[in-house]
Amino acid sequence: MMVFLQQTINGIALGSVYALIALGYTMVYGIVQLINFAHGDIYMVGAYAAFFAAGALKLPFLPVLLIAMATSAILGLTIEKLAYRPIRTAPKVTNLITAIGVSLLIENLVRIFIGPNPRSFPELIKVQIINIGSLQINNLQIVVFSVSVILMLILQFIVHKTKVGKAMRAVSQDKDAAKLMGINIDRTISYTFAIGSSLAAVAGVLVGIVYQRIDPLMGVMSGLKAFIAAVLGGIGIIPGAMAGGFLMGIAETLTKGYISTQLSDAIAFAILIIILLVKPSGLMGKKTSEKV
């Protein structure tokens, strides 16, 4: 029982990261029906921005987090404007190929200009172990979970209570009607990319402080798992992405604890196959669901 509880705690912390990345996938898909495969690389760039801010500028955790969010938001806006906006009305396969191309471009640019080797992430928060009976929780897991939950609540507030969020929901439901109502479609889509990209950057920083290692390909597997988490919860649905992220993290850590660490990646793809066979719309996916 203790092993199960310990792995569940580890899974919630890991799932918090997947949920943050998955939110970007689901927001972009909800509003432009695009699977942005470059999103994992935006997460990676956010981690590198934090690496340089913490290493070169010697900044503490919060300023580092804000710099990473700003860097990834700018990158997301640039990608949307230069790569996706010109082909917005093109067939979906064109958008998909473009997203893969942008992903490969970012990865290789980072490998060329920063280097292909992994970097040690600076210690922004000193690790402290908290013992609760035979369970062990470290303060980094609490930070990861707390930051993730706070940002998810802020996102829910933005989507449901602000003018920008209302515009995002309107565009996701009917672009033409939203345009007739005076909503600037391009600006709303840009806001969506910026918010999703900044959340991915937070995930990159959190992974950096927990694992203290970043590399140019760190976004590949994490991005794929977060995408699966979004599909699991119901892509295009924000609460679904959150739930999918947590479920994905718990499934992965339980696989490591009870079966084999070598199967921890395979379980993610097994979940994808099962959900596509059993409920392709995802656990929370409904035709009448509100999408952003």
Most confident listed range (84-98, 99-113, 130-144) = 99-113
* Residue 32 pLDDT grade (very low, low, confident, very high; cuts 50, 70, 90): confident
Dist CA 143 CA 216 (whole Å) = 24
Q: Is the pTM of this model over 0.85?
A: yes
The pLDDT tens digits for 200-224 are: 999 999 999 999 999 999 999 999 9
CA–CA distances in Å: residue 68 to residues 114, 158, 205: 16, 20, 7
pLDDT beyond 60 at 290: no
Structure-derived torsion over alpha carbons of residues 209, 210, 212, 217, reported in degrees to the nearest 10: -100
Average pLDDT over every residue of 10-35: 91
Q: What is the phi-psi region of residue 19: left when phi exceeds 0, alpha when psi lies from -120 to 50, beta otherwise?
A: alpha
Q: Is the pLDDT of residue 18 over 70?
A: yes
By the 10 Å C-beta count (0-12 exposed, 13-18 middle, 19+ buried), 95 is classed as: buried
- Which pLDDT does position 289 carry in this prediction? 52
Name the DSSP letter for residue 116: S
Given a cut of 90, is residue 285 above it in pLDDT? no
> What contacts 180, CB < 8 A, 6 or more positions away?
none
In angstroms, the CA 207 to CA 48 distance is 11
Q: Residue 140's pLDDT is what?
A: 92
Distances (CA, A) of 275 to 44, 107, 223, 252, 281: 27, 29, 18, 16, 8
| pLDDT reported for residue 287 | 60
Mean pLDDT of the chain: 91
What is the per-residue pLDDT for 149?
92
pLDDT band at 185 (very low <50, low <70, confident <90, very high): very high
For residues 159-172, average pLDDT: 93
State the average pLDDT over residues 225-244.
90
Q: Is the pLDDT of residue 288 over 60?
A: no
pLDDT at 235: 84
CA 25-142-153 angle, 5° bins: 45
